[in-house]
Structure formats: C-alpha cells, structure tokens
C-alpha cells in the first residue's frame, strides 16, 4: 500500500488537469518551488519562500513531495511538452533538470 502523507501547505488543486500538488489557496505548483532549489543557481528554502511569498514550511513540503513523486512530475512535464508540440508551440523536450535538449 502506498504511503499517504498529509501536508499542511500542499494539496491537489480542484479542477486542475494536473495530479501533482499545489500550494493550498494558490495557483502555485509544488514543483515550481522545488525547481527553484535545484539546478545551476539553486536558492535556499528560505530564499524561495521569500521570493514566492509562502511559508518556508511550504517550500520544505514541496521538496519532500517532489522527491517522492518524481515519476508523476516527469510524466506531467512530458505530457505538457507533447501537447505544446502538437500545437506547434514547443522548441525542445524538457529534462528533469529543467534543461532542454536541442534537436
């Protein structure tokens, strides 16, 4: 049985096409907060919280959530890219790191 975690600051967003969690009461995906903490110029959770106007605990929950749901997040990024590509809007597929592969 899959582990169920009750987050204080994160939840699925009603009416969203995404399964991934959002910050409660905001149109802000947990993945957005997480991605700000990784990559070539990562910010600290405190910096991300300040930049996005959320509690630092929400950033920590987002990191926890995203690390445990990487496959879901990757699948949704790929679906978004495929949708954009089918509309002629995508330049290159996204990687988990946020980098892009040039064709």
98 lies in some domain:
no
pTM here is 0.78
Domain span at 51: 10-86
Q: Give the Cα separation of 59 and 44 in Å (integer).
A: 9
The sign one gets for the Cα dihedral 36, 59, 74, 11 is negative
82 lies in some domain:
yes
37 lies in some domain:
yes
Q: Give the Cα separation of 97 and 103 in Å (integer).
A: 17
Number of independent structural domains in the chain:
1
Higher pLDDT, 46 or 40: 46
100 lies in some domain:
no
23-41 mean pLDDT: 95
102 lies in some domain:
no
Q: Summarize pLDDT for 2-15 with one digit per residue, the tens.
A: 457 899 999 999 99
Token pair of 101 as six digits:
């592969």
67 lies in some domain:
yes
């Amino acid at each position: 049985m899959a582990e169920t975690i009750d987050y204080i600051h994160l939840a699925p967003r009603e009416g969203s096409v995404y399964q991934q969690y959002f910050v409660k009461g905001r149109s802000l995906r947990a993945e957005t907060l997480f991605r700000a903490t990784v990559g070539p110029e990562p910010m600290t959770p405190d910096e991300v919280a300040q930049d996005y106007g959320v509690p630092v605990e929400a950033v920590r929950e987002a990191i926890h959530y995203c690390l445990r749901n990487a496959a879901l997040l990757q699948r949704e990024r790929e679906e978004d890219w495929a949708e954009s590509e089918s509309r002629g809007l995508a330049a290159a597929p996204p990687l988990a790191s946020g980098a892009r592969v040039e064709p």
